[in-house]
Chains A and B, each alone.
Chain A
Amino acid sequence: MANNKAAVNFDKLLGDESQDFKTVQILDETGQVVNPDIMPDLSDEQLVELMKQMVWSRVLDQRATALNRQGRLGFYAPTAGQEASQLASNFAMNKDDFLFPGYRDVPQLVQHGLPLSQAFLWSRGHIEGNKYPESLKAMPPQIIIGAQYIQAMGVAVGMKKRQSKNAVYVYTGDGGTSQGDFYEGINFAGAFKAPAIFVVQNNGFAISVPREKQTAAVTLAQKGVAAGIPAIQVDGMDPLAVYEVMKEAREFTTAGNGPVLIETLTYRYGPHTLSGDDPTRYRTKETDDIWLKRDPLVRMRRFLTDKGLWSEEQENELIDQVKASIKEAINEADAIPKQKVTDFLKVTFEEQPQNIQEQITEYSAKESN
């Protein structure tokens, strides 16, 4: 006999979960404003600046890839496609806000104040790349996926204790939302009502594993529900939507309302990293083509050109400038002296214990030979 009882309609509960997580969009794929009511309050100069940063990032990605192939850069995680998600979100934040980048979030770090030559040194694996002045409110790119989330939460709790007016912002990818630290980070921040903005850049793949294999959740934004914090999904290929949502999140969180989770729907055109990943093993040309049509640069270029704020000449001139600055930065990185073991020994502890003292003597002798 069938059981006709139904205390709970699980089918309905399953279907309802994503209802509150519609995607915020302002600029469509053709550069048309589809949501004028929520247009960000940006001046013409600011709009142009945001476009410049996105173009800078695209050129940087192309040049970094080439420099990696030539062996002039080391670890590199491509960013092309994610310019709106990365640069427009960063554009909404202040210099005194604290940035916790993942390993793909170097563009934000440089725009936040890290000299490009240091970003290159980080890529190569040189200690000078990670020497941050006190004024740079950021940590180096985090390799352990999720760790940046719990640490960002800690800074946010500290800011609250200091009665700071600033916020913390931190990035991870879609795969990262499966980590325990992802959940612990947003949950602690919620419990402490700390000023943090947690960004999930959902680019569809964690190396070869598609987003659907990470979770049965219909959106990643809805994971905010588990922490009891507000969350929203945004078109991550739309710089205006990303900016506006991030800006509003900053206002909300710095007003003492607790953290926010933002999911940006985005894509990376390149491989996972340049350390041997081949995206043709897991991605189709059809998928690539869909996302190429959504290119954030294409729609922003159209939008600004229609407003008379952007031209091909302007962009070409900018590209030349960016290439020149990259060349300069790589030359600066080349000029940095080679690393010595004694440099490392001296910064492992503030007060050197016996083993370190002994090894400093030992390696100093080797280095003076």
Chain B
Amino acid sequence: MAQKTMIQAITNALDLELASDENVLIFGEDVGKNGGVFRATEGLQVKHGEDRVFDTPLAESGIGGLSIGLALEGFRPVPEIQFFGFIFETLDSIAGQMSRTRYRMGGTRNMPITIRAPFGGGVHTPEMHSDNFEGMITQIPGIRVVVPSNPYDAKGLLISAIRSNDPVLYLEHMKLYRSFREEVPDESYTVPLDKAAVTLEGSDVSIITYGAMVREAKKAAENLAKDNISVEIIDLRTIAPLDIKTIIASVEKTGRVVIVQEAQKQAGVGAQVASEISERAVLSLEAPIGRVSAPDTPFPFGQAESTWLPNATDIENKVKEVINF
């Protein structure tokens, strides 16, 4: 066991998978010699060779096509899109191609591809680096979208993603990369896909969230505890397809729910969670479903992040609103 940041846990997962399966290939812009713009692939090319970890030309669409072709040749590609905001360049490869290949070919071919991409606000990036576009991909059948919120899950989920025979979009929140350390086992282990985690058990209200907002929810829960409000936190981890059972079990227990996402309100995941709850557990609800999300504008200019991004205070206020309904 060692204390690891999330990015160290990610590098560790990649290293272990490269070692255990010769078909695993890591490639993208600057992931080779440079070790990645965030050092996520640091040292991997030296250790595993240029044939396994390599740089590509600067073209996200080409990277998508390369992944698909390599998968058809029996490889297990782990491409990187340098920033998730550049996803539009390769949207066809993801949404139009790899997500539907198994279906399209009646199960005779698969796409064991894990696309890694950093995203998320709070670190004052330039335009189109931090945007929360995950909701776009959660609407595409045939691909999983995974967003870890801590080093332990990051490692276990990435190993599961790489071993999955279906495509996974694995989103790494930039603010979480190095903001805290956590005990992470040195050896290989998996955290299951399609499974939410009950991060904190509570009885008064369920906060359903993912990514960087899990930390904000924890902060809010600590404050709310002082007011004797017992919060249960569900970390979705896989945001598509959703672990409905865990969500509903929690809502049935607490009777109140606040859904929290960093993305804009119109951007998808929270609305899907709300819709599932209203379909399945409306009779358990003591109050309307509360939602915390960003305003429906494009991602903010760097200096405006702190006023735009949802935070623990927003969550606290929304929980009180739902409690006092």
Contacts and interface: CB of A to CB of B under 8 A. Distances in A.
B69 A154 contact: yes
Given A184-B65, A349-B142, A354-B194, A131 B72 contact: no
B93 interface: yes
Interface residues of B, number: 45
Contact of A157 (B66, B105, B107): B66
A185 B105 CA distance: 23
B282 to A, nearest CB: 18
Given A349-B102, A355-B241, A356-B241, A147 B65 contact: yes
A132 B109 contact: yes
Given A150-B65, A151-B68, A153-B62, A348 B242 contact: no
A158 B75 contact: yes
B104 interface: yes
A147 B97 contact: yes
A243 interface: no
Contact of A133 (B72, B74, B108): B108
B73 A153 contact: no
Most buried by B among A149, A161, A180, A356: A161
B74 A158 contact: yes
A159 interface: yes
Nearest to B66: A154
A116 interface: no
A180 B93 CA distance: 13
Contact of A346 (B57, B66, B69, B107): B107
B25, B57, B61 pick with most chain A CB within 10 angstroms? B61
A290 interface: no
Interface in B91-112: 92-93, 96-97, 102-110
Nearest to A130: B105
Given A127-B106, A130-B104, A180-B61, A354 B69 contact: no
Contacts of A180: 59, 61
B51 interface: yes
A262 B109 CA distance: 29
Contacts of A155: 69-70, 72-73
B316 interface: no
A130 B106 contact: yes
A195 to B, nearest CB: 12
A187 interface: yes
A180 B244 CA distance: 40
Given A144-B96, A188-B59, A354-B245, A156 B69 contact: yes
A353 interface: yes
A36 B73 CA distance: 39
Given A130-B105, A350-B165, A153 B241 contact: no
Contacts of A132: 105, 108-109
B72 A154 contact: yes
A191 B57 contact: yes
A5 interface: no
B194 A353 contact: yes
Interface string B152-165: 00000000000011
A348 B142 contact: yes
A158 B59 contact: no
A251 interface: no
Contacts, number: 140
B167 to A, nearest CB: 10
Contact of A188 (B66, B109, B110, B165): B66
B30 interface: no
Given A188-B62, A347-B103, A157 B97 contact: no
A157 B245 contact: no
Interface in A275-300: none
Contacts of A98: 72
Interface string B69-93: 1111111000000000000000011
Interface in B157-194: 164-166, 194
B72 A158 contact: yes
A152 B244 contact: no
A198 to B, nearest CB: 13
Contacts of B245: 354
A333 to B, nearest CB: 15
B72 A184 contact: no
A127 B100 CA distance: 12
Given A147-B93, A159-B73, A355-B244, A131 B106 contact: yes
Interface string A131-173: 1111000011000100101111111111101100000100000
B252 interface: no
Given A348-B142, A354-B243, A158 B73 contact: yes
A2 B143 CA distance: 62
Contact of A131 (B66, B71, B108, B243): B108
Contacts of B166: 349-351
Contacts of B165: 350
Interface string B226-256: 0000000000001001111100000000000
Contacts of A159: 73
A356 B75 CA distance: 27
A185 to B, nearest CB: 7
10 contacts: A130-B105, A144-B96, A147-B92, A153-B69, A154-B70, A161-B51, A347-B102, A348-B141, A353-B144, A355-B244
Given A130-B104, A147-B97, 10 more contacts: A150-B66, A150-B68, A152-B65, A154-B65, A154-B71, A155-B69, A157-B69, A161-B73, A184-B57, A355-B241
Interface of A: 98, 127-128, 130-134, 139-140, 144, 147, 149-159, 161-162, 168, 180-181, 184-185, 187-188, 191, 343-344, 346-351, 353-356
Interface of B: 25, 51, 56-57, 59, 61-62, 64-75, 92-93, 96-97, 102-110, 141-142, 144, 164-166, 194, 238, 241-245
Top 6 nearest A-B pairs by Cβ distance? Answer: A154-B69, A150-B65, A158-B73, A184-B62, A353-B241, A347-B107
